[in-house]
Homo-oligomer: A and B are copies of this chain.
Amino acid sequence: MTEYAFKKTGRKVSNWGRWGDDDEKGTLNYVTPDTVKQALSAIRTGERYELSIPVGDSGPQTGWMKRINPVHTMSVTPYDLTGPDGVAISDDFITMPLQSGTQLDGLTHVGYDGAFYNGVPLDAMTPGSGATRNAVDATLPGFAGRAVLLDVASLDGGEWLAAGRAVTVADLERAEEAAGVRLGTADALLVRTGWLRKGLTQGWQGWLEEEPGLAPECAEWIHERELAMVACDNWGVEVLPASDGMVPLHAVLIRDMGMMLGEMWNLEDLAEACRADGTWDFFLTATALRITGGAGSPVSPVAIR
């Protein structure tokens, strides 16, 4: 039997041991106080863009793999609790899959051949306690630093890339050139495929069944550039369905390189701003919730231009 190609790539780009045998942060290790400080130069105006889709029942989920849209209910409202001082209180609940909307994949979200990132055995993910190693709370304070938006959808001249369209290294480099930037150590890469725009404007029907996204070959490029994080506006970063296993790019980026992936990030307004002034890099913060044992987390990424 021929080996899946992604495993060969995985061995090439592996970061296991690179930051210590107990490391649980992976490529976030590229981020240092120095890189954070240097990245401040990417802030020109101080304008901010938050990059999430709504957390609620308007989301794309259908119940597949138990992924429902977040359910928000009120537990206290002014109809319930009003004091003699006239004070009224509102409290609320959320029930949600951590993978249902704008999110960060943690380092136990995907593993293969018995191991997660850094050789952590798969049974470190326990059904009852969640991730006992490589949990999402170990990635805090998360990402801060320079990020670059590569708007491949616009470069292609359409509103969104077609389902199944693989974004290649050539696409990324063409976009870099068009943007006049070069991604490097500790940067975050944001790729706009337009797929989220399709969902937001045409509805979610069929949206989760396929998508344009990064080609598996991007793994080596991401590794060479020493990027800290990759996030996209599609639901799974990579082009899907894949032809080399289930999620070959996830497998390599998360398990071999130790990289958190950002999914369903709303890059629409940010892209418009970048287009308007021709500046495609900025400061970005993206921090998971401190979920004990979490395999992922909803996130409110903020770009400061």
Contact of A128 among B45, B80, B99, B131 (CB under 8 A): B80
A302-B287 in contact given A91-B97, A97-B75 (Cβ < 8 Å) = yes
Most B CB atoms within 10 A — which of A45, A63, A291, A300? Answer: A300
Return the CB mask of A96-126 against B: 1 if under 8 Å, else 0: 1111001000001111111000000011011
- Asked whether, in the complex, the Cβ of B63 is within 8 Å of the Cβ of A69, the reply is yes
Return chain B residues, CB-CB under 8 Å to A251: 85, 87
| Min CB–CB distance A96 → chain B (angstroms) | 6
Return the CB mask of A76-96 against B: 1 if under 8 Å, else 0: 111111011111111111111
A11 CB–B CB distance under 8 Å: no
| Copies of this chain in its oligomeric complex | 4
Nearest B-chain residue to A34, judged by Cβ: B46
Contact of A71 among B33, B66, B114 (CB under 8 A): B66
Most B CB atoms within 10 A — which of A48, A87, A298? Answer: A87
Return chain B residues, CB-CB under 8 Å to A244: 85
Contact of A92 among B43, B130, B246 (CB under 8 A): B130
A54 CB–B CB distance under 8 Å: yes
**Distance, CA A245 to CA B46, complexed state (A):** 40
Nearest B-chain residue to A45, judged by Cβ: B33
Nearest B-chain residue to A296, judged by Cβ: B92
Return chain B residues, CB-CB under 8 Å to A112: 85-88
**Distance, CA A111 to CA B78, complexed state (A):** 8
Return the CB mask of A24-41 against B: 1 if under 8 Å, else 0: 000000001111110010
**Distance, CA A228 to CA B86, complexed state (A):** 26
A217 CB–B CB distance under 8 Å: no
Closest 5 CB pairs of A and B: A56-B292, A80-B128, A127-B127, A85-B245, A33-B46
